[in-house]
A and B are shown apart, each in its own frame.
Chain A
Amino acid sequence: MLVAWRYRKRENSFIQKFDPRAWLTFYACFLVSTLAFWDVRFLLPFWLFTMFVLFTSGVRWKEIRRAMLFIVGFVFFFAILTFLTGRGGSEIYGQEHLIREFKAPFSLLGWTPTLKVTVERAFYAVSQLVRVSTLAIMTILIPYSLNPALYGITFKGLGLPDKFAYAMDLTMRFIPTFGRDFQLTMDAQRARGYELEKISGGLIQQVRKMAPIFVPVTIHAIIGSEDIIDAMDLRAFGVGPRTWLQVLDRDFKDRLLIWFGVAVLVIAILLQFFGYGKFWVPEALIRLAGG
């Protein structure tokens, strides 16, 4: 049995007013445009638009709570990690202006843990936070807003051949199903006393102990595939050009959305080409640091 993503038709949803192909094309343009910038002033409009899409999507908080908490935790974790270590940012900025340095009162094997708080690190973390949250929120809304029944025709409409459009469609559909199967299998094994979280022993022992989860989920998926293969064969899949049950229509607002996305992309590329949108730190903060 297939388990679907938590899609449903939502009243007055901004995303769902558009053809999925138009939205995915716009989404692609939006992402590339966002990636063109490190300057928070340029990134903020994208972030605000993302917030607009989020709050008009019709997706309820309780539906995306787990996913959002995961994303927020993940984004914060990496932003803080970057702030603490300075890694990643060194490719974006060359000079750092020190605000304060914290040194641990102890040493570990001759190494004293030191935290340098610089203007660039702090602002880089903010830029990263805005940038990544924009990308992540726009992405997470797609499975909640795109009808799984339209995956195949959407990939086909984007230019993939029938067989690959259908393979991509099935891949996206199977992911939540196998996630569910994994959970069921783990529950069943737990009932028998198996605990994945407490795998111990040597390297080979640890690998061997993963088998009670790994093998049943995989083999169950392969056995289940026979029904799908039979159903597809009975419908003469692959014998000739495929027809699709649903038909997607692009109307004026879809074309408008696509052209809007393309326009944003072109402007973003031009701005980047002329040197705008690079990492930016407010002068006031640099003066504060005595720079």
Chain B
Amino acid sequence: MNKSLTNVAISLGVILVFFAVVMFVLGSGEAQEGALFNFSVDQATVVLRFAFVIIGLLIAFAVYYATRENTIWEVGTRQVVWMAIGAALYAVFSFLFNGTVFVVPSLSQVALRPAIAIPMFFGYAFGPVVGFFTGAVGNIFGDALTGFGLSPQWSIGNGLIGFFSGLWMLFRDRKQSINTVLWISGILALLTALLYFLNRNQANMLFFDADNNIFGDAPISFLAGIAILIGFALILAVRYFFGNNEAIATAVTWAMLGNILGLLFAAISDIWINGYSLPAAIVGEFLPAAGPNLIFAAILVPLLVVAYSSVQRQSGR
């Protein structure tokens, strides 16, 4: 086994151990139905959740193993610092914008979660390893800061968002990769939106309205149901509006794919963990989470890319 492979295997093992400690040690059995981030790890399903943490890590490992010769998997000083910065920023923003410190308004059940732009951007700018650490560890620290419990498979899902956002580095032809990603994301967005139109009465499992005593019971609103199509259209508009700026086009399209695949992984895992049906997982969980995230991918990620590019030009790094 070569050194790089050993390092990645150790790294994933470390993350697995970290999750094991967090889930089995810090999780309690006090789950609040309908909340994306539960008050605790539901101990009744903790083994299944842990199984999905392993599956998520195996997905990341499989991608690594298939492309292990590439330099994007190297972890040096810069990556260590960026991992820490990304995770800390994601934790702080998650804490501040989760509704307990700043009440970010939600429109027609579409809750805004601006912090998601951090793993997307860190994955794009600094590679999949940094993106994965940022999403997964940042989400855990963010929940811990808030006092909310953990849904570890959603933390891995957040990690996968950062991970896939950085995979553009594996492709030589950026333009072709962008087009392929757009096709894949478009098909997935259409399929999931179609599922919404076939199940319009499905409850929005993530909708939390304390004032009106609603916890995942309200039928999903039209806006939340089609948010993924709106997000996709926005990404498409950004991609073609900034057609000459490959950096922005790459960042937004790969962030979209990361968002769709990461959250699909987390939502689908709830079919086994919480016994949801496929429509409940996709329409009730995936759409209300993934749709609004795409709006952040389309607006905040390009702003970060532009600001970072100008910093790079100034510093020469």
Contact = CB atoms under 8 A, between A and B. Distances in A.
Contacts of B26: 28, 31
Interface of A: 28, 31-32, 34-35, 38, 70-71, 74, 78, 81, 84-85, 87-88, 91-92, 113, 128, 131-132, 135-136, 139, 159-161, 163-164, 166-175, 177-179, 182, 196-197, 199-200, 202-204, 206-208, 210-211, 214-215, 217-219, 221-223, 225-226, 228-229, 232-233, 237-238
Nearest to A216: B307
Contacts of B234: 204
A132 B38 CA distance: 14
A226 B317 contact: yes
B107 A203 contact: yes
Contacts, number: 173
B19 to A, nearest CB: 13
B73 interface: no
Give 10 closest A-B pairs by Cβ, nearest first: A170-B84, A174-B88, A171-B84, A28-B25, A178-B92, A171-B87, A219-B307, A167-B83, A207-B299, A232-B77
A128 B300 contact: no
Interface in B1-21: 10-11, 14, 17, 21
A164 B14 contact: yes
A206 B107 CA distance: 10
Interface residues of B, number: 69
B interface secondary structure, majority: helix
B39 A78 contact: yes
Contacts of B10: 161
Contact of A35 (B27, B87, B96): B27
B215 interface: yes
Given A87-B33, A206-B112, A218-B121, A161 B28 contact: no
Contacts of A214: 93, 114, 117, 300, 303-304
Nearest to B88: A174
Contacts of A164: 11, 14
A237 B80 contact: yes
